[in-house]
Amino acid sequence: MTSGRTAELRIIAIGCGVAGIALSAQLRSQLGYENFVVYEREKSISATWYLKTYPVVGCDSKRLAEQAEVLHYLQDAVDKFGVAPCASGRGGDRGCLDPREVFHKEAEMLVSWVGTISLPKECNVSGNETFKGDKWHSARWNLDVSLRGKRVAVVGNGCLAAQLVPYVTKETAQVHQSQRSPQWINESPNRTFTEFRKWCFRYEPPWERIYRFYLWKKTDALHDLYQSETARSLRDCAAATEQAKAY
């Protein structure tokens, strides 16, 4: 039995972050497909990198690029593949999504690219509601307030705090950091790529693929370091602990 449908499938994607941009680029550049729309809640693409502006935020001119460079790269990708007309934020003519509004759209395929780290976790620390000074979540950094000469309290010691606290201590009078559990800190593996290596990445595709495989293999090996209890992983964990102690 044959289907009577002749029109092409309509696609709705939610979220114009890295995944949403990649989907749009592939649909257009690889498939020549145009019957799709990407909805984004924020005023810019990639809410995670757009909203997080705390000092030294970063994740490729360097191995660990800063926020502004990552966001600029994503915007370039949007412009290159012509994704912008269907990935506008609040107030746009197409693709806009305002949580306060309810509307009805039909499609044969719905793809969710909703991120998990764009929304900050609420502070439930006792006394938070009565604190009279300036306060904000690091994921919503207040660029209008100077920390110079002030006493600052930081709640938490996760990866974000490891980036932030060394910077904050440079200009404040005092920093008090509260933590639930201590953790080891290693030296950042960041480094700047040489012009030769960037040339290789641009003009020698195998070089880029080999380096990507190296990063995947090295990063994937960390799973056993933290999640496995084999004799080898326990030895590696002990060695990593000693390395962190030395640092």
Q: How far apart are CA 105 and CA 103, in angstroms?
A: 7
Query: What letter does residue 84 receive in the DSSP assignment?
Result: G
Over its length of 247 residues, how does the chain's per-residue pLDDT go in tens digits? 444 454 667 888 888 888 888 888 888 888 888 888 888 877 777 777 777 777 777 664 456 677 878 888 888 888 887 776 454 433 334 445 566 777 777 888 888 888 777 778 888 888 888 888 999 888 888 889 999 999 999 998 888 888 888 888 988 999 999 888 888 887 777 777 888 988 998 899 899 899 889 988 888 888 777 777 888 888 888 888 888 888 8
Q: What is the dihedral of CA 45, 49, 52, 57, to 10 degrees?
A: -160
The DSSP bridge partners found for residue 66 are 58
Residue 151: the pLDDT is: 94
Report how far apart, in Å, the C-alpha atoms of 188 and of each of 63, 66, 185, 213 are.
10, 13, 9, 21
Q: Where does the chain have alpha helices with state H?
A: 18-29, 47-51, 67-81, 159-168, 195-203, 205-220, 222-227, 231-246
Burial of 131 (0-12, 13-18, 19+ CB in 10 A): exposed
